[in-house]
Structure 1
Amino acid sequence: MFGWLGDLMQNLLGLLYNFTKSYGLSIIILTLAIKLILYPLTHKQTSSMKKMQQIQPEIEKLREKYGDNQQKFQEETMKLYQKHKINPLSGCLPMLVQMPILIALFQALRGWGDLAGQSFLIIPDLSQGYMPLVILTGVVTAVQSLLTQNISFDDIKSNPQKVIADNKMALFMPLFIIFIGASLPAGVLLYWFISNLIMVIQQYLISREPDVEFKEESN
């Protein structure tokens, strides 16, 4: 399905290798280029999620007011999103865009003869699995999930059960990555690790931006 994209990735990596003489460095450069292209989407996603966190008190008021009428609650919630120009689905778009890239990169690196035996830093072979990188990728993804959900380490220390209960999906992703990462070539994991590390930095910087001031209106 993404064969053409896999061929494109392979050609780009080959072109970068002609300059860097390192497939590991070529993967990192390609990752940086992809993240730069996707940055507008990423910024929009993170900003939208930040706005959604800001209006949570208003959503809770609507929940209390229309708790027994789910249809009315959803209608009023959508009005609230429209009022503050928030798209609740914007958070899905970067993930939908990244998944084909990840699949294409896996197709490009899987069984690629040029990659066999190519080492990078502490990674002995980019064409084979490498468990330390699997774990590192899972850890970085966990940090990204915490930043995305605006969960602080103080929250985890004070009430870990509530954090787990309220954010099962966010905390499940690192475990999912560790599970499937064991079967991925280290080259794919390197892309995933660098990509998520950049995402953590981006989310941190965006979270430091001043909050948008919303004026609450009485319902």
Structure 2
Amino acid sequence: MRLNRKWMLLTVLILSFALLTGCSTTGKIDPESGLWDRYLVYPLSQLLDYFYDLFGTYGVSILIVTFLVRLLILPLSIKQQRSMQEMQVIQPKIQKLRTKYKKDQQKQQQEMMKLYKEHNVNPMSGCLPMVVQIPIFIAFYQAIQFDPQIAKSTFLYLQLGKPDPYLIFPLLAAFTTYIQMIAQGSANTSQTRILIWIMPIMIFIIGYNLPSALALYWVYGNIFTILQYMIFSRKKVGKAAA
């Protein structure tokens, strides 16, 4: 069940990225053209421009906007981490239920739901941060593509509206995705170990084709998430020691 949800999320991500790579880059952001542009694309574009005016570089602007987005979904991320850690604790019990009710899938699901309820675990909570991030990521892409000032700007050696010519940031995005999944404990079950390799490879392939600003956004976001997990885990260890 948990593996199926992860594969479902991976499929949604692939379809979303396929949509991004096929999007037209013509036109401009019009806040009056619809709810999507008005409440997501236009505000993101304005935020990016605002912090660019303050700091003089979109590299820093993307960093700050990424931080604000991750701060916005932080409660969901913390809930996800707690749920994943609890899932790791009850994995032996889950395996026993799978073995015991191997021939009765309905009974197996019923017993698992009782186990989740007993330990206050919501299996779907792990999906929420990613589900929330998908529309934000698409809006971020459109904000970059439809704002000529962002698309033509440079940061380090990058032209933000074009793919990274040296593949450094797609590689960093893939590597930090791998580290993030390790930090989340995705390697603790044999079923999810496959995703540890598939997800970074997919991120690299997508980063190869999309504007470098998105790879930069992904790297920033992954670093923020890794730090969040390190801090949260350290606090948990401190409480356990006390």
TM-score normalised by structure 2 residue count: 0.77
Identity of aligned residues (%): 37
- 1:110 is paired with a residue of what secondary structure? helix
- 1:92 is paired with a residue of what secondary structure? helix
- Where does residue 149 of structure 2 map in the other structure? 114
1:13 to 12, 28, 48: 48
**Gaps in structure 2 of 5+ consecutive residues:** 1-34
| Counterpart amino acid of residue 202 in structure 1 | Q
- 2:179 is paired with a residue of what secondary structure? helix
Q: CA deviation at 1:76?
A: 0.4
* Number of aligned positions between the proteins: 202
Q: CA deviation at 1:116?
A: 4.0
- Where does residue 25 of structure 2 map in the other structure? none
2:174 to 133, 138, 152: 138
- Where does residue 225 of structure 2 map in the other structure? 199
Relative to structure 1, is the Cα distance of residues 197 and 90 closer, same or farther in structure 2, using a 3 angstrom cutoff? same
Give the distance between the partners of 1:84 and 1:212, measured in 2 at CA. Answer: 19
| Counterpart amino acid of residue 92 in structure 2 | P
Q: Does 1:90 align with 2:125?
A: yes
- 1:151 is paired with a residue of what secondary structure? helix
C-alpha RMSD of matched pairs (Å)? 2.2
Contact 1:145 1:170 in 2 (8 A): yes
- Where does residue 178 of structure 1 map in the other structure? 204
Q: CA deviation at 1:172?
A: 1.1
| Counterpart amino acid of residue 222 in structure 2 | N
Q: CA deviation at 1:150?
A: 4.6
Relative to structure 1, is the Cα distance of residues 150 and 204 closer, same or farther in structure 2, using a 3 angstrom cutoff? farther
Give the alignment of 1:10-159 within 5 angstroms: 10-121=45-156, 123-130=157-164, 131-151=167-187
Relative to structure 1, is the Cα distance of residues 184 and 54 closer, same or farther in structure 2, using a 3 angstrom cutoff? same
Give the distance between the partners of 2:57 and 2:238, measured in 1 at CA. Answer: 42
- Where does residue 217 of structure 1 map in the other structure? none
Contact 1:2 1:100 in 2 (8 A): no
Q: Residue by residue, what CA displacement relative to the aligned partner does 1:77-107 show, whole Å, maximum 9, x if unpaired?
A: 0000001110000000000000111100000
Contact 2:161 2:213 in 1 (8 A): yes
Relative to structure 1, is the Cα distance of residues 83 and 116 closer, same or farther in structure 2, using a 3 angstrom cutoff? closer
Q: Residue by residue, what CA displacement relative to the aligned partner does 1:182-213 show, whole Å, maximum 9, x if unpaired?
A: 11111111111100111112123333314999
Contact 2:186 2:192 in 1 (8 A): no
Contact 1:145 1:171 in 2 (8 A): no
Of structures 1 and 2, the one with the larger relative CO (CA 8 A, separation 6+) is 1
Q: Residue by residue, what CA displacement relative to the aligned partner does 1:96-153 show, whole Å, maximum 9, x if unpaired?
A: 00011110000010142112442223x331121111101110010011122223538x
Relative to structure 1, is the Cα distance of residues 175 and 56 closer, same or farther in structure 2, using a 3 angstrom cutoff? same
**Gaps in structure 1 of 5+ consecutive residues:** 153-161, 214-219
